[in-house]
Amino acid sequence: MKTPTGKLWRDYCDFLAGHFDGKMQKISVNLGLSCPNRDGTLGRGGCIYCNNSSFSPAYCASSPSVTEQLEKGKLFFARKYPNMRFLAYFQAYTSTHARDIDTLMALYEEAMSVEGVEGIIISTRPDCVSAELLDRLRTLPWVMMEYGAESAHDRTLELVNRCHSWRQVEEAVRLTADRGIPVGLHLIMGLPGETPGDMLATIDAVNLLPVSTVKLHQLQVIRGTRLAEQVGEGEISLTITDAEEYAALCAHIVERLRPDIAVERFVAQAPPQMLLAPSWRLKNYEFVHLVERRLLLLRSACPH
Ligand code: SF4
């Protein structure tokens, strides 16, 4: 079965097309905030796989203001894509973990005031959001919340030191969707101790929630993390190591996912100097082609 746009599944462009006319480009913004799982508010040391510099683009590494980061990002993308409009993406660490709501709102409003920026996406933990903040956020022209959920299994969340439960994910999603704010969930496939059946059970749990998008990636072992030590010591072994096998799992995930939920991506690629494993060196679109091939095989084997 194909989506109305002729694709094999609903993707992030389909999701954005439901909200904006024309192409939108995300620009990452680093607010310089920490994370409650690192600064002692909830825990220390963070999630075992986390090294935040592996997913913060260079253009927001040392820029002091939101405006400056967005202007740099606009310049970076303008060379590639003229006439682009933008979404400010508050991605690094926990982008709602600040002293007070007024401080946060001033930063989000600053982003909205930059020419060409038409909305903001805030990435955070499910336990770092409140009804009060969401009530303020829904007054902005366009906002989306992206929560790090990772797995629906509490035993896994504990093992990787997330310091939150699946129930907190459910609560944050409902609190947000009840206010008409779209919600995306970030999920990691191949977390320690999880079988493919466990990962598909996470998808089943996501299907029960008012979620608009999911963003998946394979577990990556990043230099300098607790996970790297545990893998090095043989305490944990990676279950997703082969790109073809992971593509086959992603095909099953697509078949299982509620069709109105858009998939933003299946893989992540940390910079080569930081990544220990798995090293696939595949571009996003190359991996998407692998999933498409696997999905067509799956559907031809089971036409119903
Ligand atoms: S993955 Fe997110 S929640 Fe976990 S330590 Fe890193 S910034 Fe904090």
- Residue nearest to ligand 1 atom 6, measured at CA: 50
Mean pLDDT along residues 264-289: 95
* Contact 30 CB / ligand 1 (< 6 Å): no
Does residue 62 carry a pLDDT above 90? no
CA distances for 250 relative to 9, 77, 253, angstroms: 11, 30, 5
CA of 228 to the centre of ligand 1 (A): 16
Mean pLDDT along residues 291-301: 94
* Contact 50 CB / ligand 1 (< 6 Å): yes
pLDDT above 90 covers a percentage of the chain that reads 81
Can you say how many angstroms the Cα of residue 158 is from the centroid of all Cα atoms in its chain? 20
* Contact 128 CB / ligand 1 (< 6 Å): no
CA of 37 to the centre of ligand 1 (A): 6
**Residues in the chain, how many?**
304
* Contact 93 CB / ligand 1 (< 6 Å): yes
Which atom of ligand 1 is nearest the CA belonging to 125? Answer: 3
CA distances for 172 relative to 2, 64, 130, 140, angstroms: 31, 30, 8, 19
* Contact 46 CB / ligand 1 (< 6 Å): yes
**Residue 83: pLDDT band by 50, 70, 90 thresholds?**
confident
Pocket test for ligand 1, best of 125, 147, 169, 215 (most atoms within 8 A of CB): 125
Mean pLDDT along residues 256-285: 95
Mean pLDDT along residues 66-77: 94
* Contact 36 CB / ligand 1 (< 6 Å): no
Per-residue pLDDT tens for 6-38?
799 999 999 999 999 989 999 999 998 888 998
Q: Are 151 and 194 in contact (CB under 8 A)?
A: yes
CA distance 194 to 211: 23
Predicted local distance difference test score (pLDDT) of residue 59: 53
- The neighbour count for residue 235, using CB atoms within 10 Å, is 11
**Residue 54: pLDDT band by 50, 70, 90 thresholds?**
low
**Residue 58: pLDDT band by 50, 70, 90 thresholds?**
low
**Residue 80: pLDDT band by 50, 70, 90 thresholds?**
confident
Mean pLDDT along residues 94-100: 86
Mean pLDDT along residues 146-171: 98
12-220+253-269 has CATH 3.20.20.70 classification: yes
* Contact 52 CB / ligand 1 (< 6 Å): yes
Which atom of ligand 1 is nearest the CA belonging to 45? Answer: 5
Mean pLDDT along residues 134-155: 98
**3-state per-residue secondary structure call for the chain:** CCCCCCCCCCEHHHHHHCCCCCCEEEEEECCCCCCCCCECCCCECCCCCCCHHHHCCHHHCCCCCHHHHHHHHHHHHHHHCCCCEEEEEECCCCCCCCCCHHHHHHHHHHHHCCCCEEEEEEEECCCCCCHHHHHHHCCCCCEEEEEEEECCCHHHHHHCCCCCCHHHHHHHHHHHHCCCCCEEEEEEECCCCCCHHHHHHHHHHHHCCCCCEEEEEECCEECCCHHHHHHHCCCCCCCCCCHHHHHHHHHHHHHHCCCCCEEEECCCCCCCCCEEECCCCCCHHHHHHHHHHHHHHHHHHCCC
Q: Which of 50-64, 84-98, 146-160, 263-277 has the lowest mean pLDDT?
A: 50-64
* Contact 42 CB / ligand 1 (< 6 Å): no
pLDDT above 70 covers a percentage of the chain that reads 95
Predicted local distance difference test score (pLDDT) of residue 222: 96
Predicted local distance difference test score (pLDDT) of residue 82: 78
CA distances for 56 relative to 94, 98, 165, 205, 288, angstroms: 13, 19, 26, 29, 23
CA of 92 to the centre of ligand 1 (A): 9
Any idea which residue has 């790297």 for tokens?
228
Closest CA to 263 of 250, 274, 273, 275: 250
Which atom of ligand 1 is nearest the CA belonging to 93? Answer: 7
CA of 81 to the centre of ligand 1 (A): 32
Predicted local distance difference test score (pLDDT) of residue 303: 62
* Contact 161 CB / ligand 1 (< 6 Å): no
**Residue 185: pLDDT band by 50, 70, 90 thresholds?**
very high
**Residue 130: pLDDT band by 50, 70, 90 thresholds?**
very high
Predicted local distance difference test score (pLDDT) of residue 118: 97
Burial (0-12, 13-18, 19+ Cβ within 10 Å), 189:
buried
CA distance 82 to 72: 15
